[in-house]
A = this chain, B = another copy of it.
Amino acid sequence: MSGQQSRDPRVERSRTAVLAAVVELLRERGLPSVTIEAVLSRSGVSRATLYRHWPTRRALLIDGLNRLMPPPLEVLDRGTVEEQLRFFVDSLAKQLSAHPWATVLPTLLDEARRDPEFATFMPAFLDARRSTLRTVTANAARRGELRDDIDSAVAIAQISGPLLYRRLVSDEPLDEYFCDQVATGFLATYRPM
């Protein structure tokens, strides 16, 4: 039956309308505004249809977020660690500057703090992104281009932290100069002795 449903174009249209309403409300008014009532009203979908696909508000939120979230950043699989790292920092800066998920991050972090079950969504999403940088640093350490005692969990905070701080907290630009400073500082920190 669920296979049947997923091929039905009317069902697909309803699903799309509901998830679009979730994403819009999230962006416009934050996560607390994404109630079942608000989603019904904005999407025009019937209550029965909505509950058939998403038994709870949390299930609906998680589907909406998965739709909103960008894919993990790509790794440059050639070049030196300096080239790979600069590519990573520039890609992260571009995604944080342009993609809507960065604007909803504060409301997600706020909800995660209050709802422990929702909070489990964040690490799963972050882990997929963190593995990209982990691969870059591990390969570079193996090739002798970075110190072999580099701790990838710390490295991730040293790269992502400054960019997120500028994007979300201080509202300063993630420009070429800033990305260059972050990458240069990181390379100086982990240059082999």
Contact = CB atoms under 8 A, between A and B. Distances in A.
A103 B119 CA distance: 14
Interface string A135-165: 0000000000000000101101110111111
Interface residues of A, number: 46
A110 B122 CA distance: 17
A106 interface: yes
A145 to B, nearest CB: 16
Contacts of A161: 157, 160-166
A1 interface: no
Contacts of A170: 123, 126, 156-157
Interface of A: 28-30, 32-33, 103, 105-107, 109-110, 112-114, 119, 122-123, 126, 151, 153-154, 156-158, 160-166, 168-172, 178, 181-182, 184-186, 188-191
A107 B113 CA distance: 10
A184 B158 CA distance: 12
B158 A182 contact: yes
Contacts of A119: 171
Given A110-B110, A185-B189, A158 B169 contact: no
13 contacts: A106-B109, A106-B113, A122-B171, A126-B169, A154-B182, A154-B185, A158-B162, A158-B181, A158-B185, A161-B164, A164-B164, A185-B186, A185-B189
